[in-house]
Structure 1
Amino acid sequence: MIAGRYLRARRKEAFISVIASLTMVGVAIGVATLIVVMSVMNGFRAELLTKILGLNGHFTAYPIEREFTDYKETVAALEQIDGVSFAVYFVEGQVLASGQGSSTGVTVRGMDEENLKKLKLLYNAAEQGGWDAWDESKGVAIGYRLAQTLGVSLGDQVQIINPNGAMTPFGSTPQIKSYPVNVIFDLGMVEFDSFFMYMPLEPAQDYFKLTEEVLKPGAELPQAGPLDPPLTNEQLEQYYDRVGQATAAEIFIDDPDNIAVMRQRLQADPSARPLILTDWQQRNETFFSALQVERVVMFTILSMIILVAAFNIISSLIMLVKDKSSDIAVLRTMGATRGSIMRIFSITGTTIGVIGTLSGVVLGLIVAANAEPLRAFVSNTLGVAIFPPEVFFLSSLPSKTDPVEVTVVVLLALGLSFLATLYPAWRAAQYDPVEALRYE
């Protein structure tokens, strides 16, 4: 009751009440800022992880010892291993893509429709066109940002140039081919939307010279006379098999964090051919380690806001104790113990911290849940690009609130608020009633 009366200001104590209110606001801002920033960083990491691992497997398997012509059998064997969700094979190469007067380097991946359907993130991201009859389309799929860079749209021709072309007496000549744009996709990640191009598997194998014609087992070519016409392509197909190669395979597992155990299973499988495995943690170790360090540093720095608010609780309580010195003396002469005096001022200061913390939690959760609309509103109002996708890789501001982190923030704020009350409350309990009332 007494602590509550001390929180409600009378006219002559309005200044102390204003300081207490500002302290409460400071705690609320500190808590809300921590929750919002940690939620955005969690969302940023989760979104990047989803996008990166939505297209790139948890493991990338590269063939060794012999050419990767048995890619279908290898993928089928990998998918039978316990813990493997699915696997895909692909052809990959670096080329120069040219459109309407603009050129840029891109990564070309050749995949058939069966494997594309396994990549739900990509398959469902088609904004223009579609993946129907993909294997027979003889076209390409590009991200919408790459389409903007090249100045092309659906149905336009894209020219791709590979420096490792045909060998001539004068050296290697670039290989140049044009393909129509059949699909434009939007993955929401700048890296993939700007630098990846997909084409059907067989055209990609032909373009990167990963095919060869092998004489069918038991087949013998007919002996042609000097005046006989050469065999046509249709006739040659009766005697030769087309054998293509893949560059590598991507393996997707059920638990992305279970890398060590799954590596052992994949390497121990006797039915799988020799492969070199690289996992997503190895490929992105520097990036995600930097994100983790940044989260820890940001949490530490922003915690200082709550610490500053805790110091404000100390200053406001010291002023309150000074102002209530005569009240403390009267209470002591009426039989109040030093413990009672300490409890009064501890409750007063802790109440400031509790109200500020709860207000900050509510504010922080509201802002974190509406991070992207608020970013868009502020960006449109000020005319300034906030969270530009070219820098942060994502086209929107993600947010993911972690209940554990919110609990840690709340406990931190309440703990600092309580600790801030101990010294002023102890000083109040040490007041000598005789000295306090001498000049009253």
Structure 2
Amino acid sequence: MFRPLELFIGLRYTRAKRRNHFISFISLVSMAGIALGVMALIVVISVMNGFDNELRTRILGMVSHATIAGVGESVRDWPEVIKKAEANPRVLGAAPYTEREAMLQGQRVAGALVRGILPEQEPKVSEVGKKMVAGELHDLVAGGFGIVLGKELAYKLGVDVGEKIVVYAPEIRATPVGAVPRLKSFTVVGIFEIGMEEFDSGLAIVHLADAQRLYQTDGPDGVRLKLDDMFKALGVARELAGDLGGLYRVRDWMQGHQNFFRAIAMEKRVMFMILSLIVAVAAFNLVSTLVMLVTDKQADIAILRTLGATPGSIMGVFMVQGVFVGVIGILIGVVSGVIMALNLEAVVKWIEHTFGVAFLSPDVYYISDLPSDMHWSDVGLIALLGFVFSLLATIYPAWRAARTEPAAALRYE
């Protein structure tokens, strides 16, 4: 005989053609609702992961994973600092930098962060060289007073490659005619576009030697590092601080953008909770389905009880049926959600091309594509959540079926 009995009868009820077609319709609606909720949850969480990954990539293309800076002074022995930093197996590259705020004047005036770099070492720690839309990073030479601007910053200043701008340093120098700001004329030798407003409209890059002459410093402000795992930047930073004897201040990338990524993580959690309610509502439609089924099967339940079935067995029969409907819905939702998440960009482009709409217009948004980054761990968690909701939804109807009294159920049969 087929064992366990509860599984056999529960699946038998699922396959059997019911006299009440309305119950079958509600079961299909519940299954479709669970599938739709699971699919939506997988797609939305994948999109949130995609945006998170895209923003991290763009930000870390310009921001180093960790920074070693002097405490109130320049890092004059920066070659030795780089040597010690690169001795750490997790450090992939290191490069010196100077970074100060300044006022830039072209046809118009705009404030920006002016970063001094060594063009030959900068590719070790950032991807700005790969984001050039005009000119090359290597066009920056010591003493040439060239400058590379973000695309939006160049637009604000009203300048293009080959034109000159004046950079005003935020220091005052005394002259016979009074106090005047330190300034220097630079030639625009390149324009980059990262796709982040923070950098495209607020960052200018010059050669490290030119930055030191402009700001009258005797060395770089610090050393920027690139690591093999950006999520372990804090631990590596603390380790380097110990190796350097506490003479320098070491910071990781999350300290500068902690609130930003916390906001993204919070938004992801809130979206997960909200969309989980869709799965919960669909799963609890099973309650009405099973309650009607229990009413429809009163005679069958009574006969099973008279043949020796225990209340626990009766509960098991209807829990099997409810969970089966939920599992089928979850499987359909997982398969469709995974397919949609893996092909989301192509689907969105097809919809935009077919209907002539733009979901993320490049004129408005820096991220004009809809990125998707599906994690199997998220898929597993969503499937487990749907299963738990389906299981909870079967408890009350199954308990009600187990309380059926055989004599009362068979009285009018």
List aligned pairs for 1:47-86, cutoff 5 A.
47-64=54-71, 67-86=74-93
Q: 2:272 aligns with which of 276, 285, 299?
A: 299
TM-score, normalized by length of structure 2? 0.84
Deviation at 1:357, TM superposition (A): 0.7
Deviation at 1:133, TM superposition (A): 4.4
Q: Match for 2:284: what amino acid?
A: F
- Please state if 1:319 is matched with 2:297: no
Q: 1:117 aligns with which of 107, 111, 123?
A: 123
- Please state if 1:402 is matched with 2:402: no
Q: Match for 1:106: what amino acid?
A: A
Q: Match for 1:431: what amino acid?
A: T
SS of structure 2 residue aligned to 1:398: coil
Task: Give the direction of change, closer, same or farther, for the CA distance of 1:252–1:389 in structure 2 (3 Å limit).
Answer: farther
- Please state if 1:246 is matched with 2:220: yes
| RMSD across aligned positions (CA) | 3.2
1:423 — aligned with what? 396
The CA distance in 2 between the partners of 1:22 and 1:357, in whole Å, is: 13
Q: Is the 8 A contact 2:170 2:182 kept in 1?
A: yes
Task: Give the direction of change, closer, same or farther, for the CA distance of 1:171–1:401 in structure 2 (3 Å limit).
Answer: farther
- Larger deviation, residues 416-425 vs 43-52: 43-52
Q: 2:98 aligns with which of 87, 91, 97?
A: 91
Q: 1:283 aligns with which of 256, 261, 270?
A: 256
Task: Give the direction of change, closer, same or farther, for the CA distance of 1:104–1:434 in structure 2 (3 Å limit).
Answer: same
2:3 — aligned with what? none
The CA distance in 2 between the partners of 1:372 and 1:191, in whole Å, is: 26
Q: Match for 1:104: what amino acid?
A: A
List aligned pairs for 1:88-237, cutoff 5 A.
88-99=95-106, 101-135=107-141, 138-169=145-176, 171-210=178-217
- Please state if 1:45 is matched with 2:52: yes
Aligned residue pair count: 404
Deviations for 1:378-401, whole angstroms, at most 9, x for unmatched residues? 67858575498978x745433222
Q: Match for 1:251: what amino acid?
A: L
The CA distance in 1 between the partners of 2:95 and 2:76, in whole Å, is: 14
The CA distance in 2 between the partners of 1:49 and 1:341, in whole Å, is: 53
Deviations for 1:88-122, whole angstroms, at most 9, x for unmatched residues? 111212122344x4432211111122222213522
SS of structure 1 residue aligned to 2:101: strand
The CA distance in 2 between the partners of 1:108 and 1:377, in whole Å, is: 42
Q: Match for 2:94: what amino acid?
A: A
The CA distance in 1 between the partners of 2:169 and 2:50, in whole Å, is: 38
- Larger deviation, residues 245-254 vs 129-138: 129-138
Q: Is the 8 A contact 2:165 2:187 kept in 1?
A: yes
Task: Give the direction of change, closer, same or farther, for the CA distance of 1:119–1:257 in structure 2 (3 Å limit).
Answer: closer
SS of structure 2 residue aligned to 1:417: helix
The CA distance in 2 between the partners of 1:258 and 1:348, in whole Å, is: 47
- Larger deviation, residues 154-163 vs 181-190: 154-163
Q: Match for 1:249: what amino acid?
A: V
The CA distance in 2 between the partners of 1:273 and 1:75, in whole Å, is: 15
Deviation at 1:27, TM superposition (A): 1.0
SS of structure 1 residue aligned to 2:216: coil
Percent sequence identity is 39
2:319 — aligned with what? 346
The CA distance in 1 between the partners of 2:234 and 2:108, in whole Å, is: 44
Task: Give the direction of change, closer, same or farther, for the CA distance of 1:67–1:331 in structure 2 (3 Å limit).
Answer: closer
The CA distance in 2 between the partners of 1:65 and 1:184, in whole Å, is: 32
Q: Is the 8 A contact 1:65 1:274 kept in 2?
A: no
1:221 — aligned with what? none
TM-score, normalized by length of structure 1? 0.80
SS of structure 1 residue aligned to 2:121: helix
SS of structure 2 residue aligned to 1:114: coil
Task: Give the direction of change, closer, same or farther, for the CA distance of 1:370–1:147 in structure 2 (3 Å limit).
Answer: farther
Q: Is the 8 A contact 1:84 1:251 kept in 2?
A: yes
Deviation at 1:313, TM superposition (A): 0.8
Q: Is the 8 A contact 1:190 1:395 kept in 2?
A: no
- Please state if 1:33 is matched with 2:7: no
Q: Match for 1:437: what amino acid?
A: L
SS of structure 2 residue aligned to 1:124: helix
Task: Give the direction of change, closer, same or farther, for the CA distance of 1:396–1:173 in structure 2 (3 Å limit).
Answer: farther
Task: Give the direction of change, closer, same or farther, for the CA distance of 1:274–1:338 in structure 2 (3 Å limit).
Answer: closer
Task: Give the direction of change, closer, same or farther, for the CA distance of 1:259–1:203 in structure 2 (3 Å limit).
Answer: closer
- Larger deviation, residues 278-287 vs 406-415: 278-287
The CA distance in 2 between the partners of 1:254 and 1:373, in whole Å, is: 31
- Unaligned 5+ runs, structure 1: 211-243
Q: Match for 1:295: what amino acid?
A: K
Deviation at 1:407, TM superposition (A): 1.0
The CA distance in 1 between the partners of 2:160 and 2:56, in whole Å, is: 29
Q: Match for 1:293: what amino acid?
A: M
Deviation at 1:250, TM superposition (A): 1.4
- Unaligned 5+ runs, structure 2: 1-7
Q: Is the 8 A contact 1:135 1:201 kept in 2?
A: no
SS of structure 2 residue aligned to 1:94: strand
